[in-house]
Amino acid sequence: MIIKVCGLRQSDNIRAVEATKPDWYGFIFHPQSPRYVATPPDHLPSGERIGVFVDATLEDIQARQRSFQLTGVQLYKASPQLCCTLREKGLKVIRAIPAMGDLDTATLPFLTAVDYFLFDTPSPQYGGTGLTYNWQQLQSYTHSVPFLLSGGLSLNSLPDLQHFSHPSWQGVDLNSGFELSAGLKDARLLSQFISQFRLI
């Protein structure tokens, strides 16, 4: 299972998060987010670096790709064409989809354009709300493109994650449930979660 820790900002905190050994590291480039990061920190994590964008242009994404040495993108409000273009340029592409309605229909235009979906809590804030949703909603998704589970996950989610099952589920996205403040991750909580989640 993939573990992505999102909303990183500060070098010392990034080093502490690295020690917990997640698989992917997320940087948020949506200016309205309290976890927005404008310039690269002095230390960038080794491994997969994922840029999170909302309604961004190709030029904006490429500029951040260069400055943050991104290996992938997580996109809100992005067209299938933009997803395809970025994928053709060698980036891992994750399309975020609100977990509502018929997910097979919502994801259909992106099936050949992305590497992963991320099913998040429906919200105008585009993630980081700390709000959960009914994961049974994800059973309406029957396509084979893998997805990450997101939305208000915390240490308390572990028992429910143990009992969650879906053939296309490939990982989790961790953010606000593991913070001391917006953008400052609690490495102790992350370490506890990751060590236990690896056993599931």
| 3-state SS class at 86 | helix
147: which DSSP letter?
Answer: E
| Whole-number pLDDT of residue 11 | 98
DSSP 110: G
pLDDT at 132: 81
Percent of the chain with pLDDT over 90: 92
Which three-class secondary structure state does DSSP give residue 89? coil
pLDDT tens column, 145-156: 999 999 999 999
Q: What is the pTM of this model?
A: 0.95
The mean pLDDT value for 89-94 works out to 98
Q: Quick one: angle between helices 58-68 and 80-88, nearest 10? A: 40
